[in-house]
Amino acid sequence: MNVRRWGGCVLLATCDAELLGKVLKDGQITFEVREEFYKGLKVRVEEAIDLVRQSTIVNMIGKRIVKKAIEEGLIHPEAVLKISGIPHAQIVKV
């Protein structure tokens, strides 16, 4: 996970570790799980979920992190996109 703070905003980018650096292709969509954006501390899913609760903007990709966010009621299952079968979700708190 990677956390960026500016002003009162907290941006969290988190992914399942095995996806870091991968390029997912699905039809016209190409999604890069870029190290510059996602790479930071390696934490357990539960720790990442704690930071999801504290963040104002969240970008997450991966089966484990998205599943846990759904289980915790942080995202609705219908708000999840799948890219090459990998779930991706975003949260923006206003």
Confidence band, pLDDT 50/70/90 cuts, at residue 94: confident
pLDDT tens per residue, range 26-73? 999 999 999 999 999 999 999 999 999 999 999 999 999 999 999 999
* Residue ranges of domains in the chain, CATH in brackets: 2-92 (3.30.1860.10)
A 10 A CB-CB count for 41 gives 11
Q: Residue 87: name the closest of 68, 72, 67, 71 by CA.
A: 67
